[in-house]
């Protein structure tokens, strides 16, 4: 999946933990990594996200804990 398609399918903006500060979403992808704005775990929509499902990722809270690669 390319980055453009991942951004289109990403559910980050609907997440209870999301903080809109203008940064690019899709934190699960290694090219994006952690958020510079999100700092509190208030709920996670990563399980069931189309991007996570398509890529076969296993972790959660990518916005705070880092990309799938960083959490391995």
Q: Along the chain (72 residues), what's the average pLDDT of each consecutive run of 10 residues?
A: 90 96 90 88 96 94 93 86
The pTM of this model reads 0.89
> For residues 56 and 72, what is the distance between their CA atoms, to the nearest angstrom?
13
pLDDT on residue 33? 79
Scored b (16 or more CB within 10 A) or e, 15-43 reads bebbeeeeeebbbbbeebbbbeebeeeee
- Cα–Cα nearest to 49, from 3, 2, 6: 6
What is the distance between the alpha carbons of residues 49 and 37, in angstroms, rounded to a whole number?
Answer: 21
């Amino acid at each position: 999946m390319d980055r453009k398609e991942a951004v289109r399918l990403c559910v980050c903006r609907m997440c209870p933990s999301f903080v809109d500060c203008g940064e690019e979403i899709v934190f699960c992808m290694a090219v994006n990594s952690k958020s510079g704005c999100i700092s509190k775990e208030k709920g996670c929509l990563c399980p069931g996200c189309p991007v996570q499902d398509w890529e076969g990722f296993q972790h959660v809270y990518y916005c705070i804990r880092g990309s799938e690669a960083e959490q391995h």
